[in-house]
């Protein structure tokens, strides 16, 4: 009012004035900050309200309902028993698979590298050795046989944790969502790796791309998820294994089989049914399945009389009798090699120091000094032969003949039409091993057409597909 007392600063009676020394913008910033904080608090409250409403949403019918899974033997202990087997077996699978990749010497170039753009995933690669000569036969035999043997254990483990795959709600928080993502990658990666591996063993290539590329990248995704899962669950697995005695469980009959106490992971059923199998029976069934698969698989790698027991192996029978009566990966007809490619006009060309190659007929090669080596053939599918007695020319002698006695690599080319493994590059250590041959004969007889006549490469510890058949050109390099 006119004539009244003037309003005090900061009251509603007059404009607010900044206090002496205070920046004019400071009050405005504080008001904006306070308003933003209030809006964030309001949004958080709404989000919590929405989360509570979502959490109260009833589970859909079927496997998402808590009472759907009723097996009284399902629980942390049985899951941990199967998990312990996989905890030992899967790292062995991964290491032997990585060694199989290294055996192809992918650093020598695209002819050997079936997984382009590997980047950092090839950090461990090294020069694949030729000693011991049975090294690849061992590592790949273990890889394939163990992979098959672990199938029942993997299926049992998935059965034991299947309620986790149907949790409701599927995602309850950021942390829970990350755990679910790792579980998805773990289960999906395991199924993908085992299925593609078994299909490869049976030579059933229905992949949307190269088996090697898919299996390689799939293995890295799977092992990453596996490591995360182990870190998250190792403590719980250890406690679960200690919670019950294995010896006691193996003596418990059906009448005395009881569910485990409720667990945090929800594996124990809320409404268990009457038992129809003991935990002892479940372990025995899985173990018997793995043992049976071992019997019908391992013979393809071990050889001898056990080869006849390898019923699941595509190469469990010898192709005929005689000196050439041992396993073949692919026949000449299967890869398009005809008699015209390997007839009288066939020649071996040696390229090396000079610009003009040296050219030889097979008869000329046979007049040169011959050397012998007893070596098996071992392939990525897991099968291998006994030691076969090869004879021919040492690769080291051919390198010297080409003018490069210290050759660091050799390009081996086949008359086979262009395709995977029609050509390969070998390292210097493979060239200079005295057992590495350009073989002309095997077990005292000329090579058969299917075994690579007129000439093939045979190198100690080399994957079978890199022991190129029907060779017609060797290019030695420094």
Burial of 126 (0-12, 13-18, 19+ CB in 10 A): exposed
Q: Is pLDDT of 17 > 70?
A: no
Two structure tokens written together for 291? 């043992």
Q: How do residues 378-415 score in pLDDT, each as one tens digit?
A: 999 999 999 999 999 999 999 999 999 999 999 999 99
Q: How far apart are CA 309 and CA 292, in angstroms?
A: 10
The β-bridge relationship of strands 348-351 and 456-458 is unpaired
Q: How far is CA 302 from CA 51, 89, 291, 387, 465, in A?
A: 59, 19, 15, 12, 19
Percent of the chain with pLDDT over 70: 92
Q: Is pLDDT of 176 > 70?
A: yes
Burial of 421 (0-12, 13-18, 19+ CB in 10 A): buried
Give the count of beta carbons closer than 10 Å to the beta carbon of residue 381.
20
The β-bridge relationship of strands 348-351 and 471-477 is parallel
Mean pLDDT of 276-283: 96
DSSP 75-143: SHHHHHHHHHHHHHHHHHHHHHHHHHHHHT-GGG-TTT-SSTT-GGGGTT--PPP--STTHHHHHHHHH
DSSP 374-443: EE--B-TTS-BPPPEEEEEEEHHHHHHHTT-TT-SEEEEEESSPSSTTSEEEEEHHHHSSTT-EEEEEET
Q: How do residues 337-356 score in pLDDT, each as one tens digit?
A: 999 999 999 999 999 988 89
Band of residue 1 on the pLDDT scale cut at 50, 70, 90: very low
Nearest to 313, CA basis, from 198, 450, 149, 464: 198
Q: How far apart are CA 168 and CA 164, in angstroms?
A: 9
CA 254: distance to chain centroid?
39
Q: How far is CA 22 from CA 26, 27, 443, in A?
A: 7, 9, 100
Band of residue 231 on the pLDDT scale cut at 50, 70, 90: very high
Band of residue 19 on the pLDDT scale cut at 50, 70, 90: low
Two structure tokens written together for 136? 């690849």
Burial of 12 (0-12, 13-18, 19+ CB in 10 A): exposed
Q: How far apart are CA 454 and CA 371, in angstroms?
A: 16
Contacts for 392 with CB less than 8 Å, ≥ 6 apart: 365, 370, 371, 437, 438, 439, 440, 441, 455, 458
Residue 359 DSSP symbol: E
Q: How do residues 99-147 score in pLDDT, each as one tens digit?
A: 999 999 999 998 999 887 888 999 999 999 999 999 999 999 999 999 9
Two structure tokens written together for 50? 């929405």
Q: How do residues 156-172 score in pLDDT, each as one tens digit?
A: 999 999 998 888 888 87
Give the count of beta carbons closer than 10 Å to the beta carbon of residue 116.
10
Residue 373 DSSP symbol: E
Nearest to 83, CA basis, from 264, 247, 246, 237: 237
- Phi and psi at 370, nearest 5°, equal -100, 145
- Phi and psi at 460, nearest 5°, equal -60, 140
């Amino acid at each position: 009012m006119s004539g009244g007392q003037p309003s005090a600063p900061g009251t509603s009676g007059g404009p607010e004035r900044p206090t002496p020394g205070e920046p004019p913008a400071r009050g405005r910033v504080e008001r904006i900050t306070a308003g933003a904080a209030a809006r964030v608090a309001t949004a958080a409250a709404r989000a919590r309200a929405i989360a509570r409403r979502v959490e109260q949403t009833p589970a859909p019918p079927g496997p998402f309902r808590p009472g759907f899974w009723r097996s009284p033997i399902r629980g942390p202990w049985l899951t941990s028993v199967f998990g312990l087997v996989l905890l030992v077996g899967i790292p062995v699978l991964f290491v032997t698979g990585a060694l199989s990749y290294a055996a192809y010497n992918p650093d020598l170039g695209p002819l050997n590298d079936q997984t382009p753009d590997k980047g950092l995933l090839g950090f461990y690669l090294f020069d694949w050795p030729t000693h011991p000569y049975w090294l690849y036969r061992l590592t790949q035999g273990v890889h394939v046989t163990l992979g098959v043997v672990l199938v029942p254990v993997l299926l049992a483990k998935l059965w034991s944790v299947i309620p986790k795959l149907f949790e409701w709600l599927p995602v309850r928080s950021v942390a829970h969502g990350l755990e679910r993502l790792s579980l998805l990658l773990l289960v999906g990666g395991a199924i993908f790796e085992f299925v593609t591996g078994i299909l490869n063993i049976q030579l059933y290539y229905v992949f949307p791309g190269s088996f090697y590329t898919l299996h390689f990248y799939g293995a890295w995704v799977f092992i990453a998820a596996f490591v995360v899962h182990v870190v998250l669950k190792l403590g719980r697995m250890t406690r679960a294994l200690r919670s019950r005695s294995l010896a006691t469980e193996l003596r418990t009959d059906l009448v005395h089989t009881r569910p485990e106490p409720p667990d945090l992971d929800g594996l124990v059923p809320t409404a268990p049914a009457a038992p129809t199998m003991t935990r002892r029976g479940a372990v025995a069934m899985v173990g018997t399945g793995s043992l049976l698969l071992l019997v019908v698989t391992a013979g393809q790698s071990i050889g001898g009389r056990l080869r006849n027991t390898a019923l699941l192996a595509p190469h469990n029978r010898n192709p005929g009798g005689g000196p050439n009566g041992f396993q073949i990966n692919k026949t000449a007809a299967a890869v398009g090699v005809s008699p015209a490619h390997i007839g009288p006009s066939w020649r071996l060309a040696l390229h090396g120091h000079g610009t003009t190659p040296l050219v030889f007929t097979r008869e000329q090669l046979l007049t040169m000094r011959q050397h012998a080596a007893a070596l098996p053939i071992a392939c990525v599918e897991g099968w291998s032969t006994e030691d076969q007695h090869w004879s021919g020319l040492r690769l080291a002698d051919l390198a010297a003949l080409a003018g490069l006695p210290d050759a660091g690599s050799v390009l081996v080319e086949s008359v086979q039409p262009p395709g995977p493994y029609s050509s390969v590059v070998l390292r210097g250590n493979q060239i200079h091993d005295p057992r590495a041959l350009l073989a002309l004969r095997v077990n005292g007889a000329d090579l058969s057409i299917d075994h690579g006549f007129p000439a093939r490469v045979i190198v100690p510890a080399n994957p079978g597909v890199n022991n190129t058949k029907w060779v017609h050109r060797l290019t030695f390099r420094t």
